[in-house]
Amino acid sequence: MSFRFALLALVIVLPLPAQAADYMSEGIFTLENQATTDDAKLQLKCALHFFQNRKDGTFEQFFLDKDQFLKDGKVSYWEANVGSCKMDDATKLESCQSKYAADGKIADEPDSYNFYSVLTPDKISANSFGSLDDFNKWKKDGSKPDEGKWSQVRCKDLTPDMMKPHLAQTINPLSQDDSNKRMFFQNDPTDDDYAMAKKVMDVLKAKP
């Protein structure tokens, strides 16, 4: 699953952990916050930024069109990137290829690599690297646990079918920098963001 806007450019890819069989972490996920792991807040964050992880190792990443929601209450999500991941059985290192959407266009991103510490149906954690050399250096230096670390948690109340009607049909017009900010790669959501997320969640859960 890719979160690749974030580090190095900020460029990290947050892939879905690959298995020899199907991926166990299928569904809607969001990034764990940096300052808090409070589950209630993380579940609200799902309304602002989420990943759709699939059994075959493919993924998409989306974020709320905040301007649209504040304008007329319509819930719509821009696609940030899309990609696929696979595991090297010999090294147990996952490699991911992805494309990003920004500035009204789609472009390739550099490959990335992920080494997993947690792999469950409801949470995945890994260390990400921009190259095999970076990974090998990390292992040689003692596998520092916090270097390049990220985690995703399941969005318990959301399903792909619930999100599908709200996905934008045009390419993300925002810059990578603006997109990163709206995906909270560097800062956790504010109280105002969570208040907005609650309103968005009410729309997502409303019966047709």
Closest CA to 11 of 162, 147, 185: 185
For the stretch 55-98, pLDDT in tens is 888 999 999 999 999 999 999 999 999 999 987 767 778 899 99
Confidence (pLDDT) at 3: 45
Per the CB < 8 A criterion, the answer to whether 14 and 4 are in contact is yes
Whether the per-residue pLDDT at 48 is higher than 90: the answer is yes
Strand duo 149-154 + 27-31: pairing: antiparallel
Closest CA to 58 of 93, 104, 92, 99: 99
For the stretch 120-168, pLDDT in tens is 899 999 999 999 899 999 988 888 888 889 999 999 999 999 999 999 9
Cα distances from 34 to residues 37, 38, 64, 207, in angstroms, run 8, 11, 19, 33
For the stretch 97-123, pLDDT in tens is 999 999 999 999 999 999 988 888 999
pTM value is 0.87
Whether the per-residue pLDDT at 202 is higher than 90: the answer is yes
Q: Is the peptide bond before 10 cis (omega within 30 degrees of 0)?
A: yes
For the stretch 2-46, pLDDT in tens is 444 333 333 344 544 444 445 668 999 999 988 878 899 999 999
